[in-house]
């Protein structure tokens, strides 16, 4: 895809100027310079790349007139303060994960992911066609922010453990690096959630300060070498059936943009959303294979653990409906679509996937026959 041409066309068309040549319109584009702070280091190239892609697409589509400089986590503010920096006007926008800010309100998590929520395709469908984007922007707008989905990791892995988990009893007292709503769910089944910065996870596992840690998935996890100190690699990451990354834009700055620049940011964010998922889907299989070759031991969470954490999550959500006035309407909309989404998934998508996975396991795919 020629993204530059696509984004220009999308932007000009939305501005009602499809009959004008792109260079003529580009000359009319006002010069705007913004800063975007990321929650991620450049070393996590795929997840950091979501924000960088948005900035690149916008810059190219406007011939540099709308220039967004991207700064890695820590260069302007710490990664977990990215949204705060946008709210207070330190920067115009950020690239982050909305669930980092559940300390403000648990409702923030709904723009990222919640335990036992939607998968990547379901989240995008709900956001773009099920009214989710409008509902979330109504909520984030109260906090001075405009929300643009801009990346997805897909379903994540379920963490690295020093010892095997054979039953729910093995979770009791476990010191695990996990936060947000997932930490609150884990706490209800006996786990002791711990907040540990990414760079401190490996030494904490090595020393036994923590017993387990969740991160992202094979491609990102491989870089940190967890398999050397916590070899049991569990799946699925039930607390992150997807993770929607996003750009938050300062609401006043958003309102002040020309309509064609707003349309361009929306188109660029959608492109980045697709790009990140495709990149993870391409990179994760190779990384997973290499991790196993180097000693990682794949384990599926026991059904007892999955059922107990599911029940704990549903109990938590019922409580949040009572205590958080903004939670109920957005959550109910998401869950109503979730029921329809997984109904459709099991009819054709899952059936096809299961059949092809069985062929892969049997070594019967074309590439396996060569």
Pairwise CA distance, residues 140 & 330, whole Å: 12
Of 221, 208, 138, 136, nearest in space to 176 by CA: 208
What is the 3-state secondary structure of 134-166? HHHHHHHHCCCEEEEEEEECCCCCCCEECCCCC
From the number of C-beta atoms within 10 Å of its C-beta (0-12, 13-18, 19+), residue 159 rates as buried
What Å distances lie between residue 260 and 61, 67, 198, 263, CA to CA?
11, 14, 38, 5
* Phi-psi map region of 140: left, alpha, beta (phi>0 left; psi -120 to 50 alpha): alpha
b or e along 283-295 (b: 16 or more beta carbons within 10 Å of the residue's beta carbon)?
bbeebbeebeeee
> Cα–chain-centroid distance for residue 11?
26
CA distances from 170 to 3, 34, 324 (A): 50, 49, 32
Q: Is 156 annotated as belonging to a binding site?
A: yes
Cis ω on the peptide bond leading into residue 257 (within 30° of 0)? no
**215 known member of a binding site:** yes
Tell me the C-alpha distance between 248 and 265, whole Å: 11
Q: Is 240 labelled as part of a ligand binding site?
A: yes
In 10 A of CB 370, how many CB atoms?
A: 5
What are the beta bridge partners of residue 160? 213, 233
- Bridge partners of 311, per DSSP, are none
Q: Is 344 annotated as a binding residue?
A: no
Closest alpha carbon to 120 in 264, 332, 233, 278: 278
Enumerate the known binding-site residues: 156, 177, 214-215, 240
Binding residues for substrate: 156, 177, 214, 240
Which residues belong to the annotated binding site for Na(+)? 215
């Amino acid at each position: 895809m020629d993204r530059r041409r696509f984004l220009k066309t999308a932007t000009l068309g939305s501005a009602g100027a499809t009959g004008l040549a792109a260079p003529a319109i580009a000359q009319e584009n006002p010069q705007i310079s913004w800063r975007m702070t990321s929650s991620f280091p450049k070393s996590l190239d795929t997840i950091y790349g979501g924000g960088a892609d948005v900035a690149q697409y916008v810059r190219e589509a406007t011939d540099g007139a709308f220039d967004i400089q991207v700064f890695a986590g820590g260069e302007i503010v710490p990664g977990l303060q990215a949204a705060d920096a946008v709210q207070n006007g330190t920067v115009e926008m950020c690239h982050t994960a909305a669930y980092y800010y559940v300390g403000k309100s648990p409702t923030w998590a709904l723009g990222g992911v919640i335990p036992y929520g939607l998968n990547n395709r379901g989240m995008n469908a709900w956001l773009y066609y099920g009214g989710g984007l409008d509902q979330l922007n109504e909520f984030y707008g109260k906090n001075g922010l405009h929300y643009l989905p801009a990346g997805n990791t897909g379903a994540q892995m379920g963490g690295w453990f020093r010892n095997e988990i054979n039953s729910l009893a093995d979770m009791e007292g476990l010191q695990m690096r996990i936060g947000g709503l997932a930490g609150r769910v884990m706490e209800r089944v006996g786990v002791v959630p711990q907040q540990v910065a990414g760079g401190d996870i490996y030494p904490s596992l090595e020393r036994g300060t923590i017993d387990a840690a969740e991160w992202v998935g094979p491609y990102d996890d491989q870089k940190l070498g967890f398999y050397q100190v916590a070899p049991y690699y569990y799946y699925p990451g039930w607390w992150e059936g997807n993770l929607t990354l996003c750009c938050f834009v300062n609401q006043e700055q958003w309102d002040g943009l020309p309509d064609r620049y707003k349309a361009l940011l929306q188109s660029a964010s959608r492109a980045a959303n697709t790009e990140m998922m495709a990149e993870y889907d391409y990179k994760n299989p190779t990384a997973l294979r290499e991790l196993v070759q180097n000693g990682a031991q794949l384990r599926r969470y026991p059904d007892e653990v999955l059922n107990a954490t599911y029940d704990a999550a549903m109990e938590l959500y019922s409580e949040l409906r009572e205590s958080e006035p903004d939670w109920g309407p957005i959550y109910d909309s998401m869950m109503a679509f979730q029921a329809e989404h997984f109904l459709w998934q099991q009819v054709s998508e899952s059936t096809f996937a299961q059949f092809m996975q069985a062929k892969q396991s049997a070594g019967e795919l074309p590439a396996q026959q060569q």
